[in-house]
């Protein structure tokens, strides 16, 4: 199990992340909702965490960089999420 804590901006991004399978996203968000605030920590299975990390890494490759190969604003959040879900 991994302990995951999301900052409010990462939580908001995850809420809107339609590229994450809806059932998986809802499952994670429900756990955070139950903890009463986005900054709270939850425990998730290592396999789920790894799957989320892979989803965010794929998205980063698609939209995370500008023309100069600098991180875009979305890329910065994706890197944060990759780090969080990497444990």
Contacts of residue 3, defined as CB under 8 A and 6 or more positions apart, other chains included, come to 41, 42, 43
Angle at 78 between CA 65 and CA 53, to 5 degrees: 125
Weakest mean pLDDT among 8-17, 24-33, 36-45, 75-84: 36-45
pTM for the full predicted model: 0.87
The pLDDT tens digits of the residues spanning 26-65 come to 888 888 776 666 567 888 999 999 999 999 999 999 999 9
Angle at 81 between CA 33 and CA 55, to 5 degrees: 95
Beta strands in the chain (DSSP E): 2-5, 41-44
- Residue 10: closest CA among 71, 74, 65, 77: 77
Provide the 3-class DSSP secondary structure of residue 4: strand
């Amino acid at each position: 199990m991994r302990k995951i804590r999301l900052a409010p901006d990462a939580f908001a991004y995850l809420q809107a992340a339609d590229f994450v399978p809806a059932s998986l996203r809802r499952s994670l968000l429900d756990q955070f909702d139950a903890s009463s605030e986005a900054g709270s920590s939850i425990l998730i299975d290592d396999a789920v965490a790894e799957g989320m990390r892979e989803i965010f890494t794929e998205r980063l490759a698609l939209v995370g960089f500008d023309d100069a190969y600098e991180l875009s604003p979305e890329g910065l959040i994706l890197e944060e999420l990759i780090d969080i879900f990497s444990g």
